[in-house]
Amino acid sequence: MPRFDSYPVIYWLLVYGLCWGVLWLTSWVRVSRRVFLIAAIGLLFLLRLPSIVYNYEINPDESQMITQALTLRHDPVYFQSVDGTTGGPLDSYFLILPSLIGLPFDYITAHLTAFCLLAISLWLLYGTASLWFGEDSARLALLPLVFVLGLTQNGDFLHYNSELVPLLLLSSSCYLYATLTFQNRPQTWRIALIGCLLGMVPFGKLQAVPMVGVIGLFVALLVVMSRGLTVSAKVSRLAALIVGGVSFPLLFVGLCWINGVYDDFVTFYLIGNLRYGSDTNQLLSILRLPAFFRKGDSFDWFIKLAVFIGVVGAILAWRRSKRVGTDLWKQIGFAVTLLLATLFAITRTGSEYVHYLFFLAGPLLFISAYGWQHIRQNFSNNRWVPIGIMGLFLVLFGAQAAYKRLNAIPLNLYSSEQQEGWTIQQSAVSKEIAKYAQPGEKLAVWGWRCDYYVQAQMPQGVAENHTIRSGFGHPMQPIYQKRYVSDFMRSSPPVFIDAVGSHNLWMNDRKTQGHELIKPLGQYVATHYRYVGLVDDTRIYVRNDRAKAGLRYPEKPLSKDISLLTEN
pLDDT of residue 325: 57
**Quick one: pLDDT at residue 328?**
83
Across the chain, which has 568 residues, the per-10-residue mean pLDDT values are 91 96 84 93 97 95 97 96 94 97 96 98 98 95 97 96 98 98 95 98 97 98 94 97 98 97 96 82 92 96 97 90 69 96 94 96 98 89 83 95 93 90 89 94 96 97 94 93 96 96 89 95 96 95 87 43 35
Element (H, E) at 139: helix 135-151
The string of DSSP codes covering 264-296 is: HIIIIIIIHHHSTTTT--HHHHHHTHHHHHHHT
Contact 390, 23 (CB under 8 A): yes
Quickly count helices (H) and strands (E) in the chain.
Answer: 27, 4
User: What is the per-residue pLDDT for 567?
Assistant: 36
* Global pTM value: 0.94
How far apart are the two ends of the chain, measured CA to CA in Å?
A: 47
The residue type found at 66 is: I
Asked whether 362 and 297 are in contact (CB, 8 A), the reply is no
